[in-house]
Amino acid sequence: MTVLPKQFLDTLSISEGQRVRVNCPVCGARNTFTVVKMDGVLVYNCFKLGCKQGMYAIGMTAAEIKEKMKHYIRPVHKEVERMEIPEYLVQPTDGHPMMQAFMTRWDLHDEGLMYDVKDRRCVFPIKHKGRIIDANGRSLDGALPKWYRYTGKASYFTRTFGHFDDVAVVVEDTISAITVAKIDPRITGFAILGTSLLKVHADELSRYSKVIVALDPDAWGKTMTFTKHLRLYGCEQTKALLIKDDLKYKLDADTMKLKEMLHE
C-alpha cells in the first residue's frame, strides 16, 4: 500500500532548519524525496517529474514567526553615493570575445554593461535615481567569487520594461532579474544580490501590487520562508513559485507557470 506524504512525514523527526533526502514514499524513486523544516512547516518535494510536492504545517504560531522575522530581516542603511568607475571597467568591444559570447548567450547586448578587463568579469551597473551607485560583476572564466560587488552600496537590483510597481518577481541574481523582466511588461525582476531577505528588500517590495518569489528549486524552503515573511511584513499578495530550474534558463514549463500566476 502506498504511504501518503503526510502519513510518511509524521514518522520523520526533523529539527528546525534540517533537510533530509530519502526514497520517495509515493513513486518509490531512490533518493529523490527531500524534506526541510522551515518555521514550523515541512516543505517536501520529489524531484521525479509529476510526483508529489507541497507543504505540511506542524506548528509555529504567528507570534513565533514574527519574533523570528525580527532576527531574520535585518535593517540595512541604504547608501546612495555615486560609484567612482575604476579605469579597468570599460565598454565591451569586439576585442573582448568572452564578454561578447556571454552577452549573446544571455541576450544582454542592450543592457549597458561594462567589462572588467582586470578580472575578466561582465559588470552590471546598479543605479539609484539615474546614478550608478554600485555594480555586480559575473566571472567569465570560472574565477572565484563567481559574483563580485564593487561597492556594496546597493541592496538589490531591479529591471523592468513596463510598469515598475505592478508585479515583482524575486530572484537571486541579476541575469535572472533581466530575463524574467522580458517575459511580461508587468514584471519587475528583483534580484536580492545575496542569500538573505533584508528589511530594505521588504520595504521596496511593499510598493508592488503583487510579489512572486521564484528562487532556485534547491532553495524551495527559503522561497517559502521569504513568502511568509513578506506577507507578515505587509506584502499580502505574495506567492511562491516552484520552478524546475533558474528562470534565466527560460524553461517553457517555468515560463508558463509564471504567466499563469500573473493572472491569479
Read off the pLDDT of each residue in 138-159 and give the average, rounded to a whole number: 94
Determine the pLDDT at residue 30: 86
Which CATH number applies to 5-60: 2.20.25, 2.40.160, 2.60.120, 1.20.1300? 2.20.25
Run of H or E residues at 254: helix 252-262
Determine the pLDDT at residue 65: 62
Pick the residue with more confidence: 10 or 262?
262
In this prediction the pTM is 0.71
For Cα atoms 74, 78, 212, give the angle at the middle one, nearest 5 degrees. Answer: 60
Read off the pLDDT of each residue in 96-121 and give the average, rounded to a whole number: 96
Find residue 148's DSSP bridge partners.
Answer: 137
Determine the pLDDT at residue 78: 47
Determine the pLDDT at residue 7: 81
Given a cut of 70, whether residue 2 has pLDDT beyond it is no
Given a cut of 80, whether residue 186 has pLDDT beyond it is yes
The proportion of the chain whose per-residue pLDDT surpasses 90, expressed as a percent, equals: 58
For Cα atoms 127, 131, 134, give the angle at the middle one, nearest 5 degrees. Answer: 50
Q: Which fold has domain 62-77+157-264?
A: Dna Topoisomerase Vi A Subunit; Chain: A, domain 2 (3.40.1360)
**Is the alpha carbon torsion for 262, 226, 217, 49 positive or negative?**
negative
Locate 55 and state its grid cell. Answer: 507543504
